[in-house]
């Protein structure tokens, strides 16, 4: 007789073995490790203990990635069933809360653990490079597995509690950030215990700090480490993970006793009952898709006004502080602040909108309806992108104001002008590259597409910077390599553009 838990795990492993993304992700991890190993090997003559440097880099990257991406991956374990309204079918099949929670949670945990297991043969090579022992490697990966168990079960609990994956992810990140950053900060600034409250605070923080994987890795990476594998961090993380798992099972029926459709709420900025007429959504434009995304994704006219005022207040406040403390020219401080702040907010908004523009349609099951409209897939995508892009108007206005307030015009030569134009073109290509990468991953994976896309982008830039930047800076006529590198990134953008449109048609046909 097979247990229900084993059915979930077996089904998840079978489905994962048939998905090409499973192998792409694992291969990507191995390629990244190979690149890091090659980089360390090339610089081995200039640094001491290259094996230790390689090992430190890999284990800390793993710890940070588990901390940041774990909530996105594990917080959807139960919420995806709630969003699809399929949790009731699992209950009708006679599955107990333990079977559902343990089955789905174990399947996700095994998939994440495989990414750590596949690294071990490569990381063991750091022993041969010197500076690290096999015992340190094994102890570090035991600590990482315990860290993974803790993160997975914290996210699992909030996946049971909340109805939407975004809410569960946010609260999980908040709790983990409080544990890994807030507790050490409180421990560092806590005064000497003089009262019962400060004594309790000191006792709690002193007990929690050693349970952090980052503290444990710092101990393991010390030269001459020969300590035991079973320490406070391992026991504490596993026991806390088991406690969160037990609470998830015990509260499962309470938080899932009613099933509601998780529909996107109407925000105040898109409500036609707003008292001021000019804040209400305008009559529908000729391009209905652009109108829809401008009002329901970008927030409409009311959102533009709120952002314009908020950006202005923030820019003015920072410029005032700069003028007060540095006694700088107010025009120079205001123009620099306006351009920097507006560029930062524009970048954040582009990434945010790129991650929602198609993922929201897929989540609410409206992508298929869009694709039956009498227009091409490209026109649908461009119309939606236009509606979301209108939300960037406040940032663009403040950036233009900053440019107009530059104190003195720059005296540039034709060569300087060419460099400026090349830099502007490079920035625009980077923006398009990030936007396409985020949009593609947002429809490729169900949760955490934005974070995964940003991770791929930064890792890809490490490859790019390692090989291209030395050629541009130190090779005669190196600017030729810069031009070819820009052309290559334009080709990548074009290829991602094709992938996004192709993926939209594939997902809509399901």
| Predicted local confidence at residue 326, as pLDDT | 61
Q: What is the pLDDT of residue 427?
A: 84
Has residue 417 been placed in a domain?
Answer: yes
**Domain tally, the chain:** 2
Q: Of 343-357, 397-411, 461-475, where does mean pLDDT reach its minimum? A: 461-475
Let me know whether 236 and 346 are in one domain: no
d(CA 279, CA 191): 51
pLDDT band at 245 (very low <50, low <70, confident <90, very high): very high
Q: Which of 93-107, 261-275, 302-316, 473-487 has the lowest mean pLDDT?
A: 261-275
Q: Looking at the domain assignment, is residue 270 inside a domain?
A: no
Whether residue 74 is contained in a domain is answered as yes
pLDDT, average across residues 411-440: 80
269 within a domain of the structure (yes/no): no
Q: How confident is the model at residue 186 (pLDDT cuts 50, 70, 90)?
A: confident
Residue 143 shares a structural domain with residue 234:
yes
Task: Clarify whether residues 251 and 300 are in a common domain.
Answer: no
Does the residue 266 lie in any domain? no
Taking the C-alpha atoms of residue 230 and residue 208, their distance in angstroms, rounded to an integer, is 16
The verdict on 225 and 95 lying in the same domain is: yes
d(CA 154, CA 109): 12
Residue 309 inside a domain? The answer is yes
Q: Are residues 80 and 126 in the same domain?
A: yes
pLDDT tens readout for residues 287-338: 888 888 888 888 788 888 888 888 888 888 877 777 666 666 667 778 888 8
Same domain, 235 and 336: no
Give the pLDDT mean for 201-217: 83
**Domain boundary pick from 205, 228, 255:** 255
Per-residue pLDDT averaged across 437-445, rounded? Answer: 85
**SS3 track for 377-411:** HHHHHHHHHHHHHHHHHHHHHHHHHHHHCCCCCCC
455 and 363 within one domain: yes
* pLDDT tens digits, 264-275: 554 444 445 545
Cα–Cα distance between 277 and 486 in angstroms, integer? 47
Residue 99's SS3 state is helix
Four-point Cα dihedral 135, 136, 137, 138, nearest 10:
50
pLDDT in tens, 24-38: 777 777 777 777 777
Q: Is the pLDDT of residue 132 over 50?
A: yes
The whole-number pLDDT of residue 444 equals: 80
Q: Do residue 227 and residue 348 come from a single domain?
A: no
Percent of the chain with pLDDT strictly greater than 70: 79
| Confidence at residue 1, expressed as pLDDT on a 0 to 100 scale | 43
* Tens of pLDDT, residues 488-503: 888 989 999 998 888 8
pLDDT at 251 (0 to 100): 92
**Domain for residue 265, yes or no?**
no
Q: Are residues 248 and 303 in the same domain?
A: no
Q: Per-residue pLDDT for 146 more than 90?
A: yes
Summary mean pLDDT of the chain: 79
Does 53 or 280 have the greater pLDDT score?
A: 53
Tokens of 32: 């990244």
CA distance 211 to 480: 52
Residue 191 domain boundaries: 4-255
Q: Are residues 170 and 95 in the same domain?
A: yes
Q: Are residues 124 and 245 in the same domain?
A: yes
d(CA 454, CA 507): 22
Which of 204, 230, 255 is the endpoint of a domain? 255
The Cα-based distances of 244 to 249, 252, 290 in angstroms read: 9, 12, 44
- Look at residue 268 in the predicted model and tell me its pLDDT: 46
Q: Is residue 271 included in any domain, yes or no? A: no
pLDDT top residue among 149 and 259: 149
Nearest by Cα to 24 from 507, 499, 470: 499
Task: Tell whether 234 and 299 lie within a shared domain.
Answer: no
For the chain, the C-alpha Rg in angstroms (whole number) is 26
Last residue of a domain, one of 208, 227, 255: 255
């Amino acid at each position: 007789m097979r247990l229900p838990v084993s059915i979930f795990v077996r089904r998840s492993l079978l489905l994962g073995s048939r998905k090409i993304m499973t192998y792409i992700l694992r291969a990507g991890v191995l390629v990244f490790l190979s690149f890091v190993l090659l980089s360390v090997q090339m610089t081995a003559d200039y640094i001491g203990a290259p094996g230790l440097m390689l090992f430190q880099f890999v284990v800390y990257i793993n710890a940070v990635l588990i901390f940041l991406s774990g909530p996105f991956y594990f917080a959807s374990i139960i919420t995806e069933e709630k969003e699809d309204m399929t949790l009731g079918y699992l209950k009708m099949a006679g599955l107990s809360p333990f079977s559902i929670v343990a089955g789905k949670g174990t399947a996700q945990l095994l998939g994440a653990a495989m990414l750590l297991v596949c690294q071990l043969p490569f990381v063991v090579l750091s022993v041969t490079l010197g500076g690290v022992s096999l015992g340190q490697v094994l102890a570090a990966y035991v600590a990482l597995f315990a860290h993974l168990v803790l993160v997975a079960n914290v996210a699992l609990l909030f996946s049971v509690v909340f109805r939407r994956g975004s809410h569960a992810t946010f609260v999980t990140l908040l709790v983990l950030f409080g544990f890994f950053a807030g507790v050490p900060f409180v421990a560092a600034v806590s005064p000497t215990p003089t009262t019962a409250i400060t004594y309790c605070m000191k006792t709690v923080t002193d007990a929690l700090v050693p349970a952090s994987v980052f503290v444990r890795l710092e101990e393991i990476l010390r030269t001459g480490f020969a300590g035991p594998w079973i320490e406070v961090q391992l026991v504490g993380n596993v026991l806390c993970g088991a406690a969160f798992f037990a609470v998830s099972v015990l509260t499962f029926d309470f938080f899932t006793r009613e099933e509601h459709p998780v529909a996107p709420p109407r925000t105040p900025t898109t409500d036609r009952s707003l008292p001021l007429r000019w804040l209400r959504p305008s009559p529908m434009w000729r391009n209905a898709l652009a109108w829809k995304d401008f009002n329901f994704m970008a927030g409409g006219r009311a959102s533009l006004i709120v952002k314009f005022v908020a950006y202005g207040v923030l820019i003015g406040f920072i410029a005032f502080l700069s003028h007060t403390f540095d006694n700088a020219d107010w025009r120079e401080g205001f123009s620099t602040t306006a351009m920097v702040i507006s560029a930062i907010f524009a970048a954040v908004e582009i990434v945010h909108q790129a991650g929602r523009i198609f993922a929201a349609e897929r989540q609410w099951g409206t992508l298929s309806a869009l694709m039956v409209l009498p227009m091409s897939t490209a026109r649908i995508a461009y119309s939606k992108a236009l509606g979301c892009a209108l939300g960037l108007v406040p940032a663009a206005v403040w950036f233009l104001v900053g440019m107009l307030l530059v104190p003195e015009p720059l005296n540039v030569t034709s060569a300087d002008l060419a460099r400026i134009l090349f830099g502007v073109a490079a920035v625009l290509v980077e923006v398009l590259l990030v936007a396409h990468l985020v949009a593609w991953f947002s429809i490729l994976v169900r949760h955490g597409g934005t974070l995964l896309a940003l991770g791929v982008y930064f890792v890809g830039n490490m490859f790019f910077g390692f090989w291209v930047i030395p050629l541009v800076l130190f090779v005669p006529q190196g600017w030729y390599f810069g031009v070819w590198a820009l052309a290559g990134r334009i080709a990548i953008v074009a290829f991602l553009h094709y992938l996004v449109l192709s993926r939209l048609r594939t997902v809509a046909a399901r």
